[in-house]
């Protein structure tokens, strides 16, 4: 069987980490693409030289030509810029929307059968625009946010409860950013809901509220520490889990930004929800029962995503 092909659009911090993880796991041969000449080629060569030490045969190449992504099975998109001090949200949307147009057209022309995972921020709007520009079926284009957000939530809970992170399973909904909705009812340690653990004295409601707030601001906390960039190890790890679910037809239920057509009362938007990922891409949206508080929080989050989309449509009239 021919090896799978993984194309990584954007060879920055996340792109480089994605390439390393994909090579170590031998997900397939890897093409790192970037508009900057030399960077994808240099990173590809550096990473290839890990092969003899780590024992992987994955072929890693760098490119500035979209033709090299031809026939990719999975494409992970991190191309764009991160928000810098002094840059308005609309400035960021304006720049990254143009990037999504170029990337979408490159995918449409060269790899229309790929499963595409978008990471570029603002995520929920960029994944929607990327899908529009690429013309791929909605189930083949998803956004990576929830896996990362729930990993952050799980990490903080495992620390608080002093339990193995392996037993913590958390559930987040909504847009990526400070309006995301961690749902306690479906967040458990070995099946025991967080609220029950609080009742048993493992933690307090105040402490859990603090953890929810910290999870919502999880990306910003890292930006404030790094000062010159944003998180990349955990975002890359999260997208690789999604790619593996697709390549292995694993039918994992992962929180992803997926296209909704009425589920959770949302239509024609990409929002974070539990999704079954298998060989068909986003095969099924899992619609769980929410209590009134989670419903209200989800509405705030969805409204924030809608506002971003309106801004996109205002900038690029072909999206309106």
From the CB of 288, what's the least distance to ligand APR, in Å?
Answer: 27
Site for ligand APR in 112-131 (CB under 6 A): 119-121
> Exactly one of 20, 138, 155, 176 is catalytic; which is it?
176
Residue 14 marked ligand-binding: yes
Cα-based angle 237, 19, 35 (whole degrees, multiple of 5): 115
With tokens 């949307």, the residue in question is: 93
Distances from the Cα of 248 to the Cα of 113, 279, 280, angstroms: 16, 7, 11
Contact in structure between 103 and 9 (CB atoms under 8 Å):
yes
Q: Is position 119 annotated in a ligand binding site?
A: yes
Position among 27, 30, 74, 79 found at the interface with ligand APR (CB under 6 A): 79
Shortest Cβ 121–ligand APR spacing (Å): 3
| Contact mark string toward ligand APR, 232..271, x via CB under 6 A | x--x------------------------------------
Q: Could you tell me how many residues of this chain bind ligand APR (CB under 6 A)?
A: 25
Using CB under 6 A, pick the residue from 9, 257, 282, 305 that binds ligand APR.
9
- Member of 34, 68, 124, 149 binding ligand APR (CB under 6 A): 34
Would you call 20 a catalytic residue per the annotation?
Answer: no
134 binds ligand APR (CB under 6 A): no
Beta strands in the chain (DSSP E): 5-9, 29-33, 60-63, 74-77, 115-118, 141-143, 168-169, 172-173, 181-182, 188-189, 192-193, 252-261, 267-278, 281-285
Determine the angle formed by the axes of helices 89-110 and 292-315, rounding to 10 degrees: 80
Check the annotation: does 110 bind a ligand. no
Does residue 36 touch ligand APR according to CB under 6 A?
A: yes
Quote the least distance from Cβ 30 to ligand APR, whole Å. 15
Instruction: Tell me the two tokens of residue 16.
Output: 């480089």
101 vs 184, beta carbon nearer ligand APR = 101
Whether residue 289 has a cis bond before it, omega within 30° of 0: no
Between β-strands 115-118 and 141-143, what pairing exists: parallel, antiparallel or unpaired? parallel
Map residue 47 onto helix, strand or coil: helix
Residue 230 in contact with ligand APR, rule: CB under 6 A: yes
Piece in contact with ligand APR (CB under 6 A), picked from 29-37, 179-187, 247-255, 270-278: 29-37
Structure tokens at 122: 């603002």
Which residues are catalytic, by number?
A: 176
Report the interface residues with ligand APR, using CB under 6 A: 9-15, 34-36, 39, 78-80, 82, 99, 102-103, 119-121, 229-230, 232, 235
């Amino acid at each position: 069987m021919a090896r799978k092909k993984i194309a990584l659009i954007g060879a920055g911090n996340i792109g480089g980490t994605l390439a390393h993880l994909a090579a170590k796991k031998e997900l397939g041969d890897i093409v790192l693409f970037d508009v900057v000449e030399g960077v994808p080629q240099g990173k590809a060569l550096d990473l290839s030289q890990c092969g003899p030490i780590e024992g992987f045969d994955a072929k890693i190449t760098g490119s500035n030509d979209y033709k090299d992504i031809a026939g990719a099975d999975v494409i992970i998109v991190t191309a764009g810029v991160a928000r810098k001090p002094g840059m308005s949200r609309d400035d960021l949307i304006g720049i990254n929307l143009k990037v999504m147009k170029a990337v979408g057209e490159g995918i449409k022309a060269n790899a229309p059968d790929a499963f595409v995972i978008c990471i570029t921020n603002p995520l929920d709007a960029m994944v929607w625009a990327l899908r529009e520009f690429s013309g791929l079926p909605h189930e083949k284009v998803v956004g990576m946010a929830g896996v990362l957000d729930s990993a952050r939530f799980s990490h903080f809970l495992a620390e608080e409860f002093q339990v193995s992170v392996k037993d913590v399973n958390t559930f987040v909904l909504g847009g990526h950013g400070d309006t995301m909705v961690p749902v306690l009812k479906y967040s458990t340690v070995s099946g025991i809901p967080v609220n029950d653990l609080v009742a048993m004295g493992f933690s307090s409601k105040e402490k859990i509220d603090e953890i929810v707030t910290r999870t919502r601001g999880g990306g910003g906390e890292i930006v404030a520490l790094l000062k010159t960039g944003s998180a990349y190890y955990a975002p890359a790890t999260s997208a690789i889990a999604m790619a593996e679910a697709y390549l292995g037809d694993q039918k994992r239920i992962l929180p992803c930004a997926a296209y909704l057509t009425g589920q959770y009362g949302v239509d024609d938007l990409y929002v974070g929800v539990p999704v079954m990922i298998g060989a068909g891409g986003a095969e099924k949206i899992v619609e769980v029962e929410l209590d009134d508080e989670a419903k209200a929080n989800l509405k705030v989050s969805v409204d924030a995503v809608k506002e971003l989309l309106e801004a996109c449509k205002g900038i690029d009239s072909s999206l309106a």
